[in-house]
A = this chain, B = another copy of it.
Amino acid sequence: MSEVYAVRRTRLRERCTAGGSAAALVTRPANVRYLAGAAPQGAVLLLGKREDLLVCRIPPDDRPHEGRPDEALRVHVLPQPSGDPAVAAAGLAQAQGADSLAVEEHHLTVARHRALASVAPRLRLTDLGTAVEQLRVVKDEEEISCLRIGAEIADQALGELLESILVGRTERHLALELERRLVDHGADGPAFPTSVATGPNSGRRGHRPTDRRVEEGDFLSVCLGAAYRGYRCEIGRTFVIGTSPADWQIQLYDLVFAAQRAGREALAPGAACRDVDRAARQVLDSAGYGEQLQPLTGHGVGLEIHEDPQLAPAAMGKLDACVPVTVEPGVHLPGRGGVRIDDTLVVRPEADGGPELLTITTKELLAL
């Protein structure tokens, strides 16, 4: 695996050099992990003029869930654990003879940036921008394999929940049970706070579970994901509680299902992100639900649950092969509830069978 990280660092270094910076400081934890194999609490990565260093507060220990630091990388542990590794790294960059250092201005606070400048006054601080995030968009097969395992775990946890009695249980308890099952099946933990929404809450994006109990006749929408070796996927489904869904529930479900399918089918290498969004969105728009729509209908996933690309009306750029994204349109009717359907898929060329669906739980409307 070590070579993977070295190759990634080389790619970043080439970008930096092209941008006129001799050295780079990576502080955003997911970016540190991507380039160094692990991101111990507070650790930063220096791509130095002479040497790359993982600068940590305390020595990294052996935690398989959190990754192992690339052995090709020298680890520099601060003498005082209260120090700021970013500030120390700036000093080390200057000591290596660099005259400029590209930093992640979208992650560093103003106060830390000033501390860097003051400890290394001979360094010109430039902006690395989202260079690492851009490298992270297209995944290798090892990364996709972690996402695939995470999706299997989420499917299992959800499948088990559906076999249990739901009526009378609270959203918060169902969410906790799902999270326990994720861990039972080998997840590092939940990929994000599990969302369980019942009745009037159903269909709300990112709904945080309340003490409301599941009732007969409710829509129940669930959104969960597993983190597996750092990689985070997402699945969302909506069910109906009781034997016979109401007509409005069936109609709304079919509509969101059609929108979600249209989004999935639009995924292809070279497709514009905004066109994928539009494919899903226009199904809902034409049924008169345009106002209800959230700002995006999908997004990239990886070491973070929200990554580039965004599938949104104003999104720039096109999809590439091997980019994992969610497709997750939904409708929420205030006071009544609604439907969300959410899959994680990997963009693949048609010759390889088209988009690869990672989250395979059925999308039929189940009456539980």
Q: How many copies does the complex hold?
A: 2
B-contact 0/1 string along A62-104, CB 8 Å cutoff: 0101100000000000001110000000000000000000010
A295 in complex: contacting residue of B82, B110, B172, B176, CB < 8 Å: B82
Residues of B contacting A110 in the complex (Cβ-Cβ under 8 angstroms): 103, 105-106, 108-110, 113, 127
Interface residue ranges of A104-127 to B (CB < 8 Å):
105-114, 127
Closest to A193 in B: B189
Contact B111 A208 (CB under 8 A): no
Residues of B contacting A114 in the complex (Cβ-Cβ under 8 angstroms): 105
Contact A63 B210 (CB under 8 A): yes
A169 interface hit (Cβ, 8 Å) = no
A152 interface hit (Cβ, 8 Å) = no
A180 interface hit (Cβ, 8 Å) = yes
Residues of B contacting A111 in the complex (Cβ-Cβ under 8 angstroms): 105-106, 127
In angstroms, Cα B193 to Cα A41, docked, is 14
A81 to chain B, nearest CB (A): 5
Closest to A80 in B: B295
Count of A residues near B, CB < 8 Å?
34
Closest to A130 in B: B111
A183 interface hit (Cβ, 8 Å) = yes
A312 interface hit (Cβ, 8 Å) = yes
Residues of B contacting A63 in the complex (Cβ-Cβ under 8 angstroms): 208, 210
A234 interface hit (Cβ, 8 Å) = no
B-contact 0/1 string along A197-232, CB 8 Å cutoff: 000000000101010000000000000000000000
Contact B106 A312 (CB under 8 A): no
Closest to A41 in B: B206
A184 to chain B, nearest CB (A): 8
A277 interface hit (Cβ, 8 Å) = no
Residues of B contacting A105 in the complex (Cβ-Cβ under 8 angstroms): 109-111, 114
Residues of B contacting A113 in the complex (Cβ-Cβ under 8 angstroms): 110
Residues of B contacting A81 in the complex (Cβ-Cβ under 8 angstroms): 294-295
In angstroms, Cα B107 to Cα A273, docked, is 32
Give 27 A-B contacts (CB < 8 Å), ordered by A residue. Answer: A63-B208, A63-B210, A65-B208, A65-B210, A66-B208, A80-B295, A82-B295, A82-B312, A82-B314, A105-B109, A105-B110, A105-B114, A106-B109, A106-B111, A107-B109, A108-B109, A108-B110, A109-B109, A109-B110, A110-B110, A110-B113, A111-B127, A172-B183, A173-B180, A173-B183, A176-B179, A176-B183
- 9 more CB-based (< 8 A) A-B contacts, given A107-B109, A110-B113: A63-B208, A65-B208, A66-B208, A81-B295, A82-B295, A103-B110, A108-B109, A172-B183, A176-B183
